[in-house]
């Protein structure tokens, strides 16, 4: 019997908690996090799996959306990203990374809590990319609250508008442009299945996204448009440090995962690539989880 050890199988020693205390105002910037998240800026290597494709990604400035934008560009796709104006610093970095791959980058700032903006977002992305065949509904709002008694209607509404209404508005508008063979990919969460007490509104929205994904996949099957979702577990993104978690949880974020740390955005981007590529043509209505070994789904 032959045995061998290949140390290259371990891609990188990612940071483990405890992390330093840190708090940012909403919406937060990846560039100001410590440690700074890995979005695949130097590590992701493409192999042409999305050559010639045209993608719109919401929340594409940082976190998972940024990692997906980098991966898509390195796989050969042109990419439009949406983000809030306050996130321009991070978005400008993403644009440079996309263009460095020789791909077209389109930056469209704006608040997706507005139906009219969502419609304009899709129209502008499709026009500037000269088409659209991948839609990634990724932007999200997460603010912890200890009790339903202190969860305001304003905050509840803002979370649902960002996470659920915007997904509905953007997807509906995108169907005017998406041809057969297109892929819609939504970002759900393990919170849809194992909700935290302090994320009452957020967890509800993520469960809604999972149901939306499965129902829409049935609607669009005849049109040969696939609809899937990714359900991240603890991932190190600005969402956590700008009110998504209490400070004590930020310091120990990801510690309870079997791998002993939070995931880095670069580690989940390949799932979005797999859902998008045309060779994965019989997979629809699925929710794939990446949570560091908990086995939630």
Tell me: pLDDT of 7 over 60: no
**Strands 105-109 and 134-137: what pairing?**
unpaired
pLDDT tens digit sequence for 118-175? 999 999 999 999 999 999 999 999 999 999 999 999 999 999 999 999 999 999 999 9
- What pLDDT, on the 0 to 100 scale, is given for residue 295? 74
d(CA 111, CA 116): 10
Find the helix packing angle between 200-220 and 153-160, rounded to 10°: 30
The predicted model gives 58-87 an average pLDDT of 98
For 27-74, what is the HEC assignment? Answer: CCCHHHCCCCCCCCCCCCCCCCCCCCCEEEEECCCCHHHHHHHHHHHH
DSSP label at 179?
P
- Which two structure tokens, joined as six digits, stand for 124? 């502008």
Which phi and psi (to 5°) does residue 263 adopt? -75, 155
Q: pLDDT at position 48, please? A: 96
Task: Return the percentage of the chain with pLDDT > 70, whole number.
Answer: 95
Give the DSSP H/E element, type plus range, for residue 108. strand 105-109
Residue 55's nearest CA partner among 135, 110, 130 is 135
186-203: burial string, b at 16+ Cβ within 10 Å, e else: bbbbbbbbebeebbbbbb
**Which residues participate in catalysis according to the annotation?**
202
CATH C-level class of 46-289: alpha beta
In the chain, the largest separation of any two C-alpha atoms, in whole Å, equals 65
* pLDDT at position 10: 52
3-state helix, strand, coil in the chain (%, to 5): 40, 15, 45
- Alpha-carbon distance 217 to 44, whole Å? 29
Q: Which distant-in-sequence residues (6+ apart) come within 8 Å of 72 by Cβ?
A: 50, 53, 55, 57, 79, 134, 272, 273, 276
Q: Give the HSE-up count for residue 203: Cα atoms under 13 Å, Cβ half-sphere.
A: 13
Residue 290 dihedral angles phi and psi, to the nearest 5°: -140, 100
The whole-model pTM stands at 0.94
Backbone angles phi, psi at 257, to 5 degrees: -65, 145
Find, among 105, 95, 94, 102, the residue nearest to 40 by Cα: 94
CA 129, chain centre distance (Å): 20
Distance CA 208, CA 159 (A): 12
Average pLDDT over residues 80-100: 97
User: Does residue 244 have a pLDDT over 70?
Assistant: yes
Mean pLDDT, residues 272-280: 97
Structure-token match 């908990």, residue found: 294
pLDDT at 215: 98
Residue 235 scores a pLDDT above 90: yes
Q: Which 3 state secondary structure label does DSSP give 16?
A: coil
36-71 tens-digit pLDDT: 999 999 999 999 999 999 999 999 999 999 999 999
How far is CA 179 from its chain centroid?
23
């Amino acid at each position: 019997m032959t045995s061998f050890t290949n140390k290259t199988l371990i891609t990188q020693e990612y940071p483990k908690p405890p992390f330093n205390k840190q708090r940012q105002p909403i919406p937060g910037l990846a560039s100001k996090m410590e440690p700074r998240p890995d979005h695949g800026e130097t590590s992701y290597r493409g192999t042409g799996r999305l050559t010639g494709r045209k993608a719109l990604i919401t929340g594409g400035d940082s976190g998972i959306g940024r990692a997906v934008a980098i991966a898509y560009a390195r796989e050969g796709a042109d990419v439009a990203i949406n983000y809030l104006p306050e996130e321009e610093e991070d978005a400008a970095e993403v644009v440079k990374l996309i263009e460095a791959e020789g791909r077209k980058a389109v930056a469209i700032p704006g608040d997706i809590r507005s139906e009219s903006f969502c419609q304009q977002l899709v129209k502008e992305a499709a026009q500037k990319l000269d088409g659209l065949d991948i839609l990634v509904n990724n932007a999200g709002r997460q603010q912890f609250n200890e009790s339903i008694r202190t969860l305001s209607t304003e905050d509840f509404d803002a979370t649902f508008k960002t996470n659920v209404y915007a997904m509905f508005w953007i997807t509906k508008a995108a169907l005017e442009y998406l041809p057969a063979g297109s892929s819609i990919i939504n970002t759900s969460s393990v919170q849809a299945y194992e909700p935290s007490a302090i994320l009452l509104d957020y967890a509800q929205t993520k469960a809604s996204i999972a149901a939306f994904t499965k129902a829409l996949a049935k609607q669009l099957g005849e049109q040969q448009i696939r609809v899937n979702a990714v359900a991240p577990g603890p991932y190190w993104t600005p969402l956590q440090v700008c009110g998504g978690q209490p400070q004590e949880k930020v310091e120990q974020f990801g510690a309870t995962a079997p791998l002993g740390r939070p995931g880095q955005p670069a580690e989940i981007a390949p799932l979005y690539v797999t859902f998008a590529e045309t060779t994965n043509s019989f997979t629809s209505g699925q929710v794939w989880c990446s949570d560091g070994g908990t086995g939630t789904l």
